[in-house]
Structure formats: structure tokens, C-alpha cells
Amino acid sequence: MKKIILLLVLITSFSSCKKDVKKPIIVPKKVKPKPVYKFGYKIDDYKVIQDTIRRGESFGAILDRHHVGYPKISKITTSIKDVFDVRRLRTGKPYVILSSKDSLEEAKVFIYKDNLINATVIDFKDSIIDAHTYVQPIKTVEKIVEGEIHSNLSNAMDSLHLSANLTYAVADIYAWTLDFYKLQKGDTFKLIFEEKYIKDSLFAGYGEIKSAIFNHKGQDLYAFKYMSDSIKGISEYYDENGNMLRSQFLKSPIKFQYRISSRYNLRRRIAYYGNKIRPHKGTDFAAKIGTPILATASGTVSESARRGGNGNYVKIKHNSTYSTQYLHMKKRKVKKGDYVKQGDVIGWVGMTGNTGGPHVCYRFWKHGKQVDPFKEKLPSAEPLKKSLKPQYLEFIKPLKYQLENKVLPVKEPEVIEKIAQN
């Protein structure tokens, strides 16, 4: 009996000893973090300082604050003047300084963020000074939306949570074919456009509008962007028949937020002047004070002055036949002799001169005589070359199908072409 008890004690002891044996601790190997690169630089090698341009602050003042001497600052500004003018720094714009990690913390690289996508990088860490543009990697996503007019285009685009930039782009496309003042409730539109993203999530703005359709008074107005000159890289918008949407003159000197308060009328009677006939040789576009006024066609400024009932005005000579004039401006942006392109801002709506409310009086001259531009057959822009038309009509087939059926673009356009043909 004693032997049995002793044997049990030994077995128990041996068992408990086995349980006490400690397993070896495995220490995981430290994974070396991957180096982080921004703007083409290994960030861990520098002290990174982020700030914004302050009011009245210069490029030299910023570098001086970060321990760069003025002789070197002068050398930097001289070396990069053909690439980047340091005087163009704008208050509130963000910038990044990459400084040394030693006790001096001297700036080595200055990065000026032009926008979310582009930055100007000025590298002066070595004897060779370099300035170049850095472009953030972006992802482009194509979107399709449709909307309906209830009051105006701006409100319709707002209801789709689309920004004013895209609204202005649509207005530019249809500026020659649509009078936005005459849009009707129930008019509809569809757009296929690009959105840009940084790191797949940070919205960086819109790309191009690839195609659009505006249904106005039951009529479909198509717009397809097409590169008609691959050598010069020129793209224009054309309709479904290959007619260019752009013409020589815009329909209005104001983008789209206006109303026509008075038309060209040689028999107009005005109560203020005893109901006498006072010819009105212009078209009044009423808009808020400060609304930009656009040149309706390219040309040279022949007059820019303030005079009598005209108030602040600008006159542009477009060619030997046509001139346009813009009256009652709050302020003029151009001076005599300036060359302006179609759509350039030449001033802002005001109430200078003889006027009862804020508007721009738009006057149109043909062979030195004032005429009504809305009753003139005005010249169009250059049409699509006949040799390109068959290629163009093939190009727009998938785009037209996408608009009509509200489907997003696919990687193989020929698939859509086959569908469109069936």
C-alpha cells in the first residue's frame, strides 16, 4: 500500500513539473516602416513645416525666417525667375518647407501649392538650384447626371450637388446656342463629365465635359467634345451633325444670371421724357452690381473711358465690319489698345451714367452703324472639315448612346457602338 502511495506521489510530481516547463518566447522581428515620399522627397530626411502665405509676406521673408541668408535668397530668385516669379505668392496659399534635421534647421526645399493638384517645387539644398512643377497622382472618374430646370440652370445644378465651376463650364459650352434667360420650366439636360480625385478620396475638381444634351422647348441640343486638330491639340464642341457650337459672337455679355430689361427699339417712348420717342440702340442685360461682363468676341479695345450718360464703358473692334460696346460699368478692367479674347472679363455691372438700375447696355455696330444683334445673321466659327466628318460621326455613336440611355462609359467603346447600331 505504501508503495502504491509513493508511486502516485511521484507521478503527480512529474506531471506538475511538465506543466511548469516554460515555452520559449518568440519575439517578432521589427518590421522596418516603408519610407514616406511626398512631392518626390523622402520626408523622414527632413523637418517638415507647413504654413500659409501671410498678408504682405514675401518669398525672401519666409526663407529668412527659416535660416536662409539673403545672398542665397537673391541667388535662388535669380536662378528660377524664368520658371517661377516669387512675386506671385498669394495671401492664404499653403506652402511646405523641408528643413535640415540638425540644430540649424535651415530650409532646403520650398514647395508652393498652386492648387490641390499642382505645386511648384524650389530645391536649393545643393549648389544647383532647381524649380519645377510637381503634379499629384490623380484618379479620373467619369460621371453621368441628369437634371430638370425649375427656375434656372444654377439652381438645377445646385440640386444635384454640383459646384458652380461645372455650372459655368456648361454655360460656356452652350453660350452660343442657348439663351439662358429663356430656359423654360421642364427643360432637361444630361452631362457626362470627369471628376478628379487624389488618393481615391480627396476631390480635386472637375475634368472635361465629354458630352452633353440639353432639351429646350422639345428640341435636343447635343454637345460632343472632339479634337478636330490633333497636331495643335485643339478640341471643340460639335452637335450630332458635326456643326460647331461656338460662333463668332456670344449671345450675351453676361454668362447666364441676367434678364433682358430693355431691347433694341428705335421707336421707344419714355415717360420720364414726356413720353417722347427716344431710340434705344442697345439691349439692356439687368444683373447684380459686380456681375462680370464678358467680351462677346475677340478683338482690340478701341475705347475705354467714362463719359456722360454712358458712364464707364468699353468698346471693342472685332474686325473691319463689327464692333461692340458695353455701357454703365461699375469698373473697367481693360484699357485702350488691349487685345481681349472671347469670354474675357472686361468689366463689371454697375449703374454709372444715365441708368435706373444695375445693368449693362450692350450695343452692336456693323459697318459703323448700330444694329440689333438678335436680328442679324452673324458669322459662325470654322466648321468641321469634311474629311473629318465620317470619323467624327463614328466617334460620337457611343457617346450619344450613353446620353440617351444614361449609362456610364465602358472601356470598350466598340461594345456600345454595336448596341447603338442594333
Task: In the chain, list all ranges with CATH 2.70.70.10.
Answer: 259-375
Non-local CB neighbours of 124 within 8 Å, separated by 6+ positions: 68, 72, 76, 107, 108, 109, 110, 130
Pairing verdict, β 345-349 and 322-332? antiparallel
Query: Across residues 152-174, what is the average pLDDT?
Result: 90
Mean pLDDT over 31-48 rounds to: 87
Cβ atoms of 231 and 213 within 8 Å: the answer is no
pLDDT at 258: 73
**288-316 pLDDT, tens digit each:** 999 999 999 888 899 999 999 899 999 99
pLDDT for 208: 92
Task: Convert the pLDDT of each residue in 405-417 to its tens digit.
Answer: 888 755 444 444 4
pLDDT digits (tens, 9 = 90+) for 117-157: 899 999 999 889 999 999 888 899 999 999 999 988 889 99
pLDDT beyond 50 at 61 = yes
d(CA 96, CA 301): 42
- Exposure string for 56-65, b = 16+ CB within 10 A, e = fewer: eeebeebbee
Residue 7 clears pLDDT 70, i.e. is over it: no
CATH number of 138-238: 3.10.450.350
- Upper half-sphere CA count for residue 344 (Cβ side, 13 Å): 16
How many CB atoms are located within 10 Å of the residue 197 CB?
Answer: 15
CB 142, CB 192: distance < 8 Å = yes
Query: pLDDT at residue 419 above 60?
Result: no
Q: How far apart are CA 203 and CA 220, in angstroms?
A: 31
Give the CATH fold of the 259-375 domain: Glucose Permease (Domain IIA) (2.70.70)
pLDDT band at 9 (very low <50, low <70, confident <90, very high): low
Q: What is the CATH number of domain 37-135?
A: 3.10.450.350
Cell of 148: 430638370
The region of weakest confidence among 106-120, 261-275, 292-306, 337-351 is 261-275
Rounded mean pLDDT, 160-181: 86
Domain with CATH 3.10.450.350 in the chain: 37-135, 138-238
Mean pLDDT, the chain, whole residue set: 85
